[in-house]
Amino acid sequence: MPVVTAVVSNADGLGSVPITNGTAKPKTEVKQLPVEYYADFLSDAAKARRPGPIRGLLPLEKTPGLISLLAGKPNSAMFPFTSLQFGARDPHSLKEYTLSLDQNVLDEGLQYAGTAGVPALIDWLTDLQEIEHHRNRSEGWRVSVTSGSQDAIYKAVQAIINSGDSLLVEKPVYAGVIPMFESLRSEMTEVETDDHGIQSSSLRQILENWPASKPKPKALYTVPYGCNPTGMTATLERRLEVLELARQHNFIILEDDPYYYLYYGDKPRVPSYFTLEAQTGTVGHVLRFDSFSKILSSGIRVGFATGPIPLLNAMDLHTASANLQAASFSQAIVVTLLKSWGYEGLKKHTENVSAFYRAKRDVFQAAFEKHLTGLAEVTPPEAGMFYWFKILLPEGDSGDSVELIREKAFQGGVLALPGTVFFPSGAKTPYVRASFSLLDEADVDEALRRLRVVILEARGGR
Ligand SMILES: Cc1ncc(COP(=O)(O)O)c(C=O)c1O
């Protein structure tokens, strides 16, 4: 397997050679996995997908001098939208200003677009990934715009998983992927996590003891920043070991990172897997999912996948037959906003967003300490919008938070999620997930006061 070209890192005080996480493109040549490497990864469904007779020819419409009789595109002269203006907040001054879509951007937004997205947005996002993740577009990856990151994750697993294939998932795992992985009849293997994110030692143990008779897992699904549901962020040390294992055992890291820009920890942020793979050896094991849902709008449904071209091609073929493309109208709005802000503006905006959630986290923590000290245990998150806390249930209790949360807490006027819904195996757990994104201080205080009453009652007043 790959030769390690640079040793890592410092963000966690580990290793010796500084890691770059940021603004410049790499100076050194990066080794890439060959295109053929992915042939073994593609699912039967992905291998069977062919480009449609129309969409496959659409790029030819751009041939200079060509008259196209090809696509059944509606004539935009008959669309009723003549202009589009919207108000936006400047990330620096926080003042509102008005943005108008350029006529050509509006025309593009009103019409069908390429499967991977509107070219101007793809370009902008490719630049963003180069800047933010310190990668170079010549390294065998590209970007596809999707209808939120959920759409991208769904297409990625469809592209690689056959019925019965093994898939590694964190325990607990984002509940929104469990039905998806189950419907594919993938065999989920749970990898332990803790306050430092995924336990790479658990992953190593699983892989080193993998039965020889059974094909190894094709992918690991992980949420490395502000994990949903645990709120935890994987440390550099863990990420490096996971990457090493991906190279040793040949699996793809599905890096689902919608909370990447919601990092508000005190230490410098840890680089993404997408960054790290280029700084530690051969690239091509990371398929990354970004989302605008938490920073621009969840209703606009724009996310993007970044990763090895053969995998992105397989995902695009799925899109071409499933929904043709992510909405061009949304993409036109997003690219107009992003171009008006520039990369610096987006950075400033994400700093504002993460500061907002940090303040919410602090409010939740204060209320947690006030009402639940001695009744529940927690490690405060440093990213994202979730608290994952352990209820100290009475001795002799089943060890499960389900009844307490679903029934007693609900009757007591609080709604939260019992931890078991995040375990593919449905295992019992005393953990609970609480989201702190929307509530003001008074509601947080009241919610946790109510929870205190319910837990105290379950503990017989102690
Ligand atoms: C971990 C994780 N992945 C993916 C998603 C889906 O996000 P999107 O709105 O981009 O589809 C969510 C949404 O909450 C999430 O928490």
Q: Is 27 part of any domain? A: no
- Structural tokens at position 26: 């790499």
Owning domain of residue 125: 36-53+99-342
Residue 132 has phi, psi (to 5 degrees) of -75, -35
Domain holding 274: CATH number?
3.40.640.10
Residue 195 CB contacts under 8 Å (≥ 6 apart), including other chains: 232, 379
Rounded distance, CA 1 to CA 395, Å?
A: 50
In a domain? residue 329? yes
Give the up-direction half-sphere exposure of residue 138: CA atoms within 13 A in the CB hemisphere.
Answer: 7
First-to-final CA distance of the chain: 57
Question: From the alpha carbon of 147, which atom of ligand 1 is closest?
Answer: 11
327 CA distance to ligand 1 centroid (A)? 18
Whether residue 381 sits in one domain with residue 318: no
Mean pLDDT over the full length of the chain: 92
> Does a structural domain hold residue 13?
no
- At residue 88, what are phi and psi to the nearest 5 degrees? -140, 165
Query: Which tokens hold the place of 87?
Result: 């108000």
Q: Does 444 score more than 50 pLDDT?
A: yes
In this predicted structure, what is the pLDDT of residue 29? 80
Instruction: Please indicate, yes or no, whether residues 309 and 365 belong to a single structural domain of this protein.
Output: no
Determine which residue's CA is closest to atom 5 belonging to ligand 1.
Answer: 150
Both 191 and 331 in a single domain? yes
pLDDT at residue 11 is higher than 50: no
The verdict on 335 and 360 lying in the same domain is no
Residue 92 has a pLDDT of 98
pLDDT, residue 412, reads 95
Least confident piece of the model among 1-15, 217-231, 416-430: 1-15
* Residue 390 and residue 243 share a domain: no
Q: What does the pLDDT read at residue 21?
A: 44
Of 303, 322, 342, the residue at which a domain comes to its end is 342
Is there a single domain that holds both residue 136 and residue 220? yes
User: Do 175 and 106 reside in the same domain of the chain?
Assistant: yes
- E strands, 68-140, are 85-89, 96-100
CA 5 to ligand 1 centroid distance, Å: 33
Q: Report the side by side order of strands in the sheet with 166-171.
A: 141-146, 303-308, 286-291, 252-256, 219-222, 166-171, 187-194, 197-198
Point out the domain boundary residue: 288, 318, 342: 342
CATH number at residue 421: 3.90.1150.10
What count of other Cβ atoms lies within 10 Å of the Cβ of residue 60?
10
What pLDDT digit, counting tens, does each position of 46-58 carry? 999 998 888 888 8
- What is the spatial distance between Cα 58 and Cα 111, in angstroms, rounded to a whole number? 13
Tell me how far the alpha carbon of residue 311 lies from the centroid of ligand 1, in angstroms: 20
Q: Return the structure tokens found at 48.
A: 């069977």
* DSSP H/E element including 198: strand 197-198
Question: Is residue 183 scored above 60 in pLDDT?
Answer: yes
Burial (0-12, 13-18, 19+ Cβ within 10 Å), 437: middle
Rounded Cα distance between 46 and 192, Å, is 30
Q: Tens of pLDDT along 249-300?
A: 999 999 999 999 999 999 999 999 999 999 999 999 999 999 999 999 999 9
Pairwise CA distance, residues 194 & 187, whole Å? 23
Distance 269 CA to ligand 1 centre (A): 21
The answer to whether residue 80 scores a pLDDT higher than 90 is yes
CB-based pocket (< 6 A), ligand 1: 148-150, 174, 176, 223, 228, 256, 258, 291, 293, 298, 303
Whether residues 110 and 185 fall in one domain: yes
Specify the pairing of strand 376-377 against strand 85-89: unpaired
* DSSP H or E run through 289: strand 286-291
The whole-angstrom separation of Cα 265 and Cα 223 is 16
Task: Please tell me the distance between residue 296's alpha carbon and the centre of ligand 1 in angstroms.
Answer: 13
pLDDT of residue 28: 59
Q: Atom 6 in ligand 1: which residue has the minimum CA distance?
A: 150
Q: Report the pLDDT averaged over residues 413-428.
A: 95
pLDDT tens per residue, range 22-46? 454 554 589 999 999 999 899 999 9
Same domain, 273 and 363: no
Same domain as 379, residue 267: no
Atom of ligand 1 nearest to the CA of 151: 11
Dihedral over alpha carbons 146, 151, 154, 160 (to 10 degrees): 0
Q: Are residues 400 and 311 in the same domain?
A: no
Is residue 4 pLDDT above 80, yes or no? no
- What is the chain's Cα-based Rg? 23
Amino acid occupying residue 368: F
Say what the pLDDT of residue 360 is: 98
pLDDT band at 59; cut points 50, 70, 90: confident
For residue 8, the model assigns a pLDDT of 30
- In this structure, is residue 77 part of a structural domain? no
Residue finishing a domain among 342, 366, 401: 342
Q: What distance in angstroms lies between residue 384's CA and the mean position of ligand 1's atoms? A: 11
SS3 at position 292: coil
What are 310's two structure tokens? Answer: 């053969």
Sheet with 376-377: list strands edge to edge. 376-377, 386-391, 431-435, 417-418
d(CA 117, CA 129): 16
Q: What is the mean pLDDT of residues 92-107?
A: 97
Structural domain contains residue 268 = yes
- If you measure from the C-alpha of residue 130 to the centroid of ligand 1, how many angstroms do you get, rounded to a whole number? 23
* Residue 389 within a domain: yes
Q: Cβ–Cβ contacts within 10 Å for residue 299, how many?
A: 9
Number of domains comprising the chain: 2
| Test site for ligand 1: of 157, 174, 262, most ligand atoms within 8 A of the Cβ | 174
For residue 205, tell me if it sits in a domain. Answer: yes
Lowest model confidence (mean pLDDT) among 2-11, 123-132, 343-352: 2-11
Residues 120 and 236 in one domain: yes
Q: To test the ligand 1 pocket, which listed residue (145, 150, 294) has its Cβ within 8 A of the most ligand atoms? A: 150
DSSP-assigned letter for residue 123: H
**Within a domain: 221:** yes
Give all strands (DSSP E) within 312-459, no chain letters: 376-377, 386-391, 417-418, 431-435
Three-state secondary structure call for residue 344: helix
